[in-house]
Every structure is written in structure tokens, then in C-alpha cells.
Amino acid sequence: MARGHIFRTWDDYFIPGTSVLRNKFTAPGKPYGETDPDKLRTLEEAFAHSRIQELAETPIAGRFDYDHMKAIHGAIFQDVYDWAGQERVAPVGQFMTKDGHAYYGAGPHLTAAAEAEYAKLASKNYLRGLEPAEFVDQLAESWGEVNVIHSFREGNTRSQFVFFSQLAEQAGYRIDATQFASGAPLRDAFVEARFHSQDTGRNDRLAAVLGQAIAPFDAGPGESHHGAESRSPLWQASFPQSANAAGRASTAPSADPRRGMLRQAGRGYRAEPEGR
């Protein structure tokens, strides 16, 4: 792959003349990377899995803002794509559709929506101090909104799992991500719940699914709840929000009018399915 490639349009992401993403697995005769889509998928999944394991052991310290999410995406896909950690630049417009489900189109409104959503987490004290049911509801609300923004060209779901797992741990909860792996009991329900969120603007189904895989940390005898979680690497890497930050979260569903535009979108730019 030529160094310094600039991504401006949807086609810029692809190896010229193909529907395969440009990638770092270059070789003689493959200046833009691996051209076989099955081989690329295998390589991408292997390298991403390895990086996700690294992040579980040595998480990225951050403030649970947009830069934190970008850093996580960059770490996961640094071996595969030049644009790892970068907001997607296409398709430009109010929305795009994938398999009939609407997402934000690229452009300033996507950036603004992302920044606003992460700011909500800060205003809610990163979901700290919530009882389990309220925590799950608020986590689902944030997760559903971040998903419909869909900041990256590829790898949104994996980045979201790392980000929200770290967010959960600093709030005293653990997400059992193994229940959402391919073939796992909650996988299909999770995918369907996110599509429901996109189509309706409601995150109740997502909360119902996530609630089956989220539990508070167990505290040992004589040990406080926060004493147990403080041993977690994810907790230790988390931004130490001060106790006087904004308090409990509102349980009201999102009222962002742009979600209404997305729900009403009958036609849009059709992108390749990701779901990963």
C-alpha cells in the first residue's frame, strides 16, 4: 500500500477495482494489501482478537470521550488498516443504510453527534453509583446511540465492546462478552436489539439483552464493592472522575430529532454489512 493514502470518498477505502478494503498485508503484486476477501477477514479477525486480548490486560487509559473510543479502535486495528482510529469520511450525507437499517452519514453532523453522546456519559458521572437495573438501562441508552452514529468504516462492534466493558468496570459492573461471541446464546438477540434501536430509537430491547450478561463485581468478606473492582486493570486505567461530577442519569429515552430522521429514512447509501 502506498504510504500517506488519503481517504476522502467511499471508494477510497477499497483496493482499486475490487470491493476489498485496502489493508496493510502488502506483498509483491499486492501493493494495496491482501486482495482475497476471505484471507483478509481471517487475518483481520486474528490480529484484532490478539489486540483485544492485549487491551484486556493493559487497557488504554482515557476519559471515556470520543478520543478514548478512537484510541481503542486504533489499537485494535493498527495492524490491519491505515485508517484505524479515524472517523470514517464516507458516505457523506444525513444518513446511510446497511441492510435497510439507518446510520449517521459521514460529515460534521456525525462528529457533533459523537462528541455529544460521549459528553452525556461525562454528565452522568460515567454511570457510577447506579443500581443494577438503572445501570443496564443507561448503558443500553448510550450503547444504542453510539452504535447508530457508527463512527468507523469497520470494526465498530468490537471497539464498542472494549469501550463499554471498560466503562462498566469502572462503574463496578462486568460484561460477560463471551455471551455475545459468534454462536453464543445472546449473539443473535444482541444484533436484533441493536437493529430495533436503530429502527425505533428505543433501547429497551438492548437493555433486556445486556442485562442477561451484566453483573456487579463480587465483593469478598469485609470488602466494599469498589474495593473489589479496584483490582481490575480496566478500573485502574479509567479516568478518575471526581465525586462532585454531575450525578444520577436521567432515564428518559433519547429525544435527538436526528434519530427521527434516521428512522424515517426510506432510502440512503447502502454500505456493505459489518455486524462486527
Q: What is the pLDDT of residue 262?
A: 47
Q: What is the pLDDT of residue 258?
A: 46
- Whole-number Å distance between alpha carbons of 116 and 110: 10
Q: What is the pLDDT of residue 231?
A: 42
Start-end of H helices in 124-253: 132-149, 156-170, 187-200, 204-210, 225-229, 233-236
Residue 160 and residue 121 in contact, taking contact as beta carbons nearer than 8 Å: no
Residue 10 and residue 22 in contact, taking contact as beta carbons nearer than 8 Å: no
Residues forming beta bridges with residue 98, ordered by sequence position: 101
Residue 152 and residue 103 in contact, taking contact as beta carbons nearer than 8 Å: no
Q: What is the pLDDT of residue 8?
A: 87
List of residues 6+ apart from 53 with CB closer than 8 A = none
List of residues 6+ apart from 247 with CB closer than 8 A = 125, 129
Q: What is the pLDDT of residue 30?
A: 97
Q: What is the pLDDT of residue 234?
A: 44
pLDDT tens string, the chain, 276 residues long: the values are: 445 678 889 999 999 999 999 999 999 999 999 999 999 999 999 999 999 999 999 999 999 999 999 999 999 999 999 999 999 999 887 777 777 788 899 999 999 999 999 999 999 999 999 999 999 999 999 999 999 999 999 999 999 999 999 999 999 999 998 999 889 989 999 999 999 999 999 999 999 999 999 999 874 433 334 444 444 444 444 443 333 333 333 333 343 544 544 444 432 323 333 444
Q: What is the pLDDT of residue 32?
A: 97
Q: What is the pLDDT of residue 4?
A: 60
Q: What is the pLDDT of residue 6?
A: 83
